[in-house]
Amino acid sequence: MTPRSDPAALLLPEAYAVQRLQVLAGDHDAGPEQMRTYLLRRAVLDDRLAPVMPEPLYDGATYEQDAVETGQRLLDHDRTHHSHRGPVPAGDPRWDFDLLGYVRQEHAVLVREEHDTEEPTRA
């Protein structure tokens, strides 16, 4: 299998970015926004890896379980800090039963925000 045909290999740049965010979020100077970004991107990465990496992680959990657990941490964080960005707020009870739906909503907003702030390339 070539790197282009390996779905997990395509996620390596995002895995690296999440690892860097983990280090930054662990810094004693890190604020709620850095922690939120880390939790969101980690949950999204695990959600994407779940279908292509069925084997357990080092602690026996699967990527899907880790995505759900990290999604719960994100939801709790956003409820505490009132930091949701999506159209349906973190306090909405529907998210108690659809953690990955909340993660996907918040990620869609992050992608739009990142896209809107990118500099246009010159032809």
Whether the Cβ atoms of residue 106 and residue 74 lie closer than 8 Å to each other: yes
CA distance to 11, 15, 48, per residue, from 53 (Å) = 11, 13, 9
Cα–Cα distance between 119 and 76 in angstroms, integer?
33
At residue 87, the pLDDT reads 98
| Residue ranges per structural domain of the chain | 7-117
Q: What is the pTM of this model?
A: 0.78
Q: What is the DSSP letter of 94?
A: G
Cα–Cα distance between 77 and 106 in angstroms, integer?
13
At residue 84, the pLDDT reads 96
Tell how far CA 115 is from the center of its chain: 17
Per-residue pLDDT of the chain (123 residues; tens, 9 = 90+): 455 566 666 666 776 677 777 777 776 677 899 899 989 999 998 898 888 877 776 776 788 898 999 999 999 999 999 999 999 999 999 999 999 999 999 999 999 998 888 766 655
